[in-house]
Amino acid sequence: MDATEQYEKWKAQFPLCFERTGSCMGFGVQHSSGWNPIIERLLTKIEAHLAAKYAAGFRDPDYGFQIDQIKEKFGTLRFYVCGADDQIFQWIVEAERETANTCEACGAPGSLHCRVGGYWLYTRCPQCATENMEPYKAEDHDF
């Protein structure tokens, strides 16, 4: 399933999460499929949380929950939202941290890698890391 199909699937599966989206979601999801299970767990929690809040009457029609962007940046997940409460932000931080140890390509345990001679970061398992990637060590890079 490509990224566009995945995004459409999530919009149908998690309607409250995707009821409102930011302009960057026009690009769809911008990561590889290895992180999909992590994102699906996150969306499941957020969907249930929003349903409970809305059922209790906590719904602002002018400024509700909105997903602005879901992408990879600096080798880990970035999940940008507006209108979230502290619980949702905590779940987002946990998911983003989990991706630092999960191969973006296949979902196996992984670690940060960088392009040899460059600064692009990727989270990869040993099997998915290519010959032009090496394990990332912050002390080897002068940012």
Q: 79 and 13 in one domain?
A: yes
Domain count for the chain, please give it: 2
Task: Give the tens place of pLDDT for each residue, 23-51.
Answer: 788 777 899 899 999 999 999 999 999 99
**Which pLDDT does position 59 carry in this prediction?**
79
Q: What pTM does this model have? A: 0.90
Q: Which two tokens stand for residue 134?
A: 């090496």
Contacts of 75 (CB under 8 A, 6+ apart): 100, 104, 112, 113, 121, 122, 123, 136
pLDDT at 142 over 60: no
**Which pLDDT does position 137 carry in this prediction?**
78
**Which pLDDT does position 76 carry in this prediction?**
95
pLDDT at 141 over 70: no
Q: 47 and 74 in one domain?
A: yes
Task: Give the tens place of pLDDT for each residue, 50-107.
Answer: 999 999 988 776 668 999 999 999 999 999 999 999 999 999 999 999 999 999 999 9
98-102: which pairs have CB atoms within 8 A and are 24 or more residues apart? 98/38, 99/35, 99/38, 99/123, 100/75, 100/76, 102/34, 102/35, 102/38
Q: 84 and 14 in one domain?
A: yes
pLDDT at 118 over 60: yes
Q: 78 and 44 in one domain?
A: yes
Q: 62 and 115 in one domain?
A: no
Answer yes or no: are the C-beta atoms of 76 and 100 closer than 8 Å.
yes
Give the separation between CA 81 and CA 68, rounded to whole angstroms. 5
Q: Give the range of the structural domain holding residue 127, as residue numbers without chain letter.
A: 102-143
Higher per-residue confidence, 119 vs 84: 84
Answer yes or no: are the C-beta atoms of 71 and 94 closer than 8 Å.
no
Q: Residue 140 — very low, low, confident or very high, per pLDDT cuts 50/70/90?
A: low
pLDDT at 138 over 70: no
Q: 74 and 18 in one domain?
A: yes
Q: Residue 71: CA atoms inside 13 Å, Cβ hemisphere, count?
A: 11
